[in-house]
Amino acid sequence: MTPLLQIHNLKTWFPIKRGVFSRTIGHVHAVDGVSLEIARGETVGLVGESGCGKTTLGRTVMGMEPKKAGEIFLEGTPLWPARHKDTLPLRRRVQMIFQDPYSSLNPRMTIQEIVTEGLLQQKLIHPQARAETAKSLLHEVGMEPSILHRYPHEFSGGQRQRISIARAISVRPELVICDEAVSALDVSVRAQVLNLLIDLRASHNLAYLFISHDLGVIRHIANRVVVMYLGVVAETGPASEVLDRPAHPYSRALISAIPVPFGEMRQRIILHGDVPSSANPPSGCRFHTRCPYAIAACAEQIPPLEPIAPGSPRLVACIRKHELRSLPSILA
Amino acid sequence: MSALLDIRNLSVAFDTDDGLLTAAENVSFSINPGEVVGLVGESGCGKSVTALSLLRLIPMPPGKILSGEVLFDNRDLLRLPASELRTIRGRRISVIFQEPMSALSPLHRIGAQLVETLQLHLDIDHQAAWNNALDWLKKVGIPDPKERMRDYPYQLSGGMLQRVMIAMALMLEPALIIADEPTTALDVTIQAQVLELLRGMKTRESSLLLITHDLGVVWEMCDRVMVMYAAKIVEEGSRDELFNHPAHPYTQALLDSVISLTSRTKRLSSIDGQVPSPLAYPAECRFAARCKYAFDRCRRELPPLYDIAPGRRCACFLSEISNQT
């Protein structure tokens, strides 16, 4: 079966311009050769720290950033075509929920206009059916139908995020890219919105590309996890396995660094230094400058993303992955 | 043991176009020497305003301190003349802000800002202050401190700037450090570095008031915790007591909605409804509308903060009842 989304060796670079004539003097390698697949109805969690390229990856899949190299397929159809006419039907199938519910809703549009704009654009409903459709969409995301003619500024962050979700699901997409969709919300509200996303996933058979730096959230919602570092994939596999027994030294450090109550963490790995610049990524393994287990070969060899054992769904990009398997678990 | 800082009935409000916004109401607590106290709550609960009001760091107007006392060294910080308050700010009580980028001057080099702070409070010459500042940058783990002294804030990453802030807060060896969401703007691996640094500070005898919304950070750092909800402290207790036996329904719900890394529950428990508007707090318990245990009395009157055990306070009628039986 063809996966819903297939990304092959995707690269998204941003030019760095300097001088009077805006000469390009280099590139930020935001996404630098990433491959991943998402099946229908599956949720893939994309994790990593700021600047690792997770948001850029999401935006490239969405067609908001042009790709430098590589391929993206939506059930075999290549994304994104150059002509607007060809883009429109694909747009319906991939939708996005943004991090900041304050800037992602047009303040001059009413809630009804916001949640039905896509439907009208796609000519999926008659303009007269607008109010009816908007009401049922709002009902689906747990909002009162009486808010139809109000404006975004009248709502709290959590409510706005529900409205964003209603807008995203209005055109019956197959894939929804959630870019830090719950990160700006307080804990109690975050749980409400996560539960909503989980319910909608079941009722609409949605696939999510769930981008987050919050591993607790990922653990809760994702079937599979992709850990990114400086534009490349460090590790991927089933969510529970990657989060419980991370194999890549970077994933281990990342997971061990999360402060959790009740002493769930047995061991804390403190990384030294900052993430290097993605304009000039380190040679060999990109993590070798901060890796506690780095050896001389790590600086020379680019580690391939390979199964940790033959036939395993867990892929790890580390040349010492077999030696490091004997390390103690980081969770109590 | 006498408290280092004693806050009594502090109330702070802001004038807005829509009326008076209550940010903190009758907040009372104390901090002992060497103690790490956490002030937790969700956005808008008044935790930052409370902490910043201690040093009168909120903009006034529109902000105003309606009532209360902040006793420190037998003096009331809220009534101290500005000139005297300046000798306390930075020297005896220092602040680490959430966004180091906006807390440091963008126009001055890191070194100059550190030296200025030192010379303002200590009678030392420029060279001695420079060396002292350099020492502190080394202590907080900044690589190549000599070069960094000559950098401007924009040349440093968020994690490095937060270290500079911490160095600046620590270098005068204050009795109390107020840290307002010191790691919220940072990535987890950098957050771990900064928390490690703050933890190392515990040995330095300074007290720390840590303001955060992250219960994981509280668990790792604090000796004692206060939970704020809708401008009021609703519960106080030692870390272990509060996390293992939360008394207030809000604290319980908050702890329940923390997503565990190890257990995998099907459904997250969440708190339904919303925080009441700070422009018009109801006369009853502010959590009553969202509370699953609420009964008649909760919808009629505001529960006071009951002393339920030594060092334990809780603003819930249920704790009053269980205490009597």
Taking only the tens place, the pLDDT of each residue in A9-18 is: 999 999 888 8
Band of pLDDT at residue B324, cut at 50, 70 and 90: low
> Which chain A positions have a beta carbon within 8 Å of B218's beta carbon?
261
User: What separation in angstroms does the CA of A41 have from each of A38, A71, A165, A176, A216?
Assistant: 8, 21, 17, 10, 21
pLDDT band at residue B112 using 50, 70 and 90 as cut-offs:
very high
| Exposed / middle / buried, residue A185 (Cβ in 10 Å: 0-12, 13-18, 19+) | buried
Q: What is the tally of helices (H) and strands (E) in chain A?
A: 10, 12
pLDDT at position B246: 92
Contact between chains at A259 and B143 (C-beta distance less than 8 A): no
Half-sphere exposure at residue B33, Cβ-oriented, CA atoms within 13 angstroms: 8
Query: Can you give the pLDDT at residue A72?
Result: 93
Q: What is the pLDDT of residue B265?
A: 62
Helix (H) or strand (E) holding B24: strand B19-31
pLDDT for A285: 93
Higher pLDDT, A18 or B70: B70
Indicate which of A262, A271, A289 best probes the interface with B, i.e. most B CBs within 10 Å of its own CB.
A262
Inter-residue contact B218 to A261 (CB < 8 Å): yes
Interface of B with A (CB under 8 A): 42-43, 143, 157, 159-160, 187-193, 195-196, 213-220, 243, 253-255, 257-262, 264, 267-272, 274
- pLDDT at position B262: 66
Question: C-alpha angle B319/B320/B325, rounded to 5°?
Answer: 95
Label residue A265 by pLDDT band (50, 70, 90): low
Confidence of residue A38 (pLDDT cuts 50, 70, 90): very high
Q: Count the Cβ atoms, other than its own, within 10 Å of residue B119.
A: 16
**pLDDT above 70 (res A94):** yes
CB-based contact (8 Å) between A259 and chain B? yes
Cα nearest neighbour of B156 on chain A: A274
Write the pLDDT tens digit of every residue in B117-131. 999 999 999 999 999
Q: How far apart are the first and last CA of chain A?
A: 39
CA B297 to chain centre: 32
In this predicted structure, what is the pLDDT of residue B206? 86
Residues of A in contact with B271 (CB under 8 A): 188-189, 191-192
Question: Which of chain A's residues have a Cβ under 8 Å away from the Cβ of B191?
Answer: 257, 259
B279-284 average pLDDT score: 86
Banded pLDDT at B322 (limits 50, 70, 90): low
Disruptive mutation site among B187, B191, B210, B272 for chain A (greatest number of A CBs within 10 Å): B187
Q: What three-state secondary structure class fits A226?
A: strand
pLDDT confidence of B269, banded at 50, 70, 90? confident
CATH for B5-32+40-92+210-324 (3.40.50.300, 3.30.70.2080, 1.10.150.110, 3.30.1490.100): 3.40.50.300
Q: Does A313 touch chain B (CB under 8 A)?
A: no
A171 in Cβ contact with A123 (< 8 Å): no
Q: How far apart are CA A151 and CA A138, in angstroms?
A: 14
Residue of chain A with shortest Cα separation from B216: A260
- The pTM assigned to this predicted structure is 0.83
CB contact (8 A) between residue B270 and residue A219: no
- Report, in angstroms and rounded to the nearest whole number, the Rg of chain B calculated over CA atoms: 21
Q: What is the ipTM of this complex?
A: 0.78
Q: What is the mean pLDDT of residues A99-128?
A: 91
Nearest CA in chain A to B267: A195
Helix B188-201 and helix B158-170: axis angle, to 10°? 10
Contacts B216 to A, Cβ<8 Å: 258-261
Share of chain B above pLDDT 90, in %: 36
| Of B227, B186, B195, B229, residue with least CA distance to B37 | B227
Residues of B in contact with A257 (CB under 8 A): 188-189, 191-192
Residues of A262-291 as b/e, b for ≥16 C-beta within 10 angstroms?
bebbeeebebeebbbebeebeebbbbbbbb
B4-25 per-position pLDDT tens digit: 899 999 999 998 888 888 889 9
Subunit contact A270:B192, Cβ cutoff 8 A: yes
Coil, strand or helix at B222: coil
Q: How far apart are CA B223 and CA B221, in angstroms?
A: 7
What pLDDT is attached to residue A303?
Answer: 92
Q: Measured between beta carbons, which residues in chain A are less than 8 angstroms from residue B257?
A: 187-188, 190-191
Residue-wise pLDDT for A182-210, tens only, equals 888 888 788 888 999 999 999 999 999 99
Q: A interface mutation test: which of B151, B156, B188 has the most A CBs within 10 A?
A: B188
With a pLDDT cut of 70, the percent of chain B lying above it is 95
What's the DSSP call for residue A275?
A: P
| Structure tokens belonging to residue B251 | 């604290």
- Which pLDDT score is estimated for A205? 92
Q: How many CB atoms lie within 10 A of CB B266?
A: 7
Taking the C-alpha atoms of residue A259 and residue B192, their distance in angstroms, rounded to an integer, is 8
Residue A229 has pLDDT above 90, yes or no: yes
Integer Cα distance of A261 and B237 in angstroms: 15
Using N-to-C axis directions, what is the helix angle for A157-169 and A187-204, rounded to 10°?
10
Confidence of residue A228 (pLDDT cuts 50, 70, 90): very high
Q: Which of B244, B234, B229, B230 is nearest to B314 (CA)?
A: B234
Check whether B261 has a pLDDT greater than 80.
no
Query: What does the block give as tokens for B134?
Result: 């350099």
Q: Do A195 and B261 touch (CB under 8 A)?
A: no
Q: For chain A, what is the mean pLDDT?
A: 89
Q: Is A270 on the interface with B (CB under 8 A)?
A: yes
Q: Chain B residue with minimal CA distance to A276? A: B157
Per-residue pLDDT, B37: 94
Give percent of chain A above pLDDT 90: 50
Lowest mean pLDDT among A270-274, B95-99, B134-138: A270-274
Taking residues B239-251, report their average pLDDT.
92
Each residue of B144-158: pLDDT tens digit?
Answer: 888 889 999 988 887
Q: Which residues of B touch A219 (CB under 8 A)?
A: 259, 261, 264
What per-residue confidence (pLDDT) applies to A86?
A: 83
Q: Give, in order, the Cα–Cα distances in Å from B257 to each of A217, B245, B268.
A: 11, 15, 6
Predicted confidence (pLDDT) at residue A299 exceeds the cutoff of 80: yes
pLDDT tier at B183 (50, 70, 90 boundaries)?
confident
Interface of A with B in 141-160 (CB under 8 A): 156, 158
3-state secondary structure at position B235: strand
List the single residue in A with minimal CA-CA distance to B276. Answer: A156
pLDDT at A274 exceeding the cut of 90: no
Residue A304's pLDDT is 92
How far is the alpha carbon of B196 from chain A, nearest alpha carbon, in Å? 8
A328, pLDDT greater than 60: yes
From A187, A191, A243, residue closest to B261, measured CB to CB = A243
User: Which residues on A lie below 8 Å from B243 (Cβ)?
Assistant: 261-262
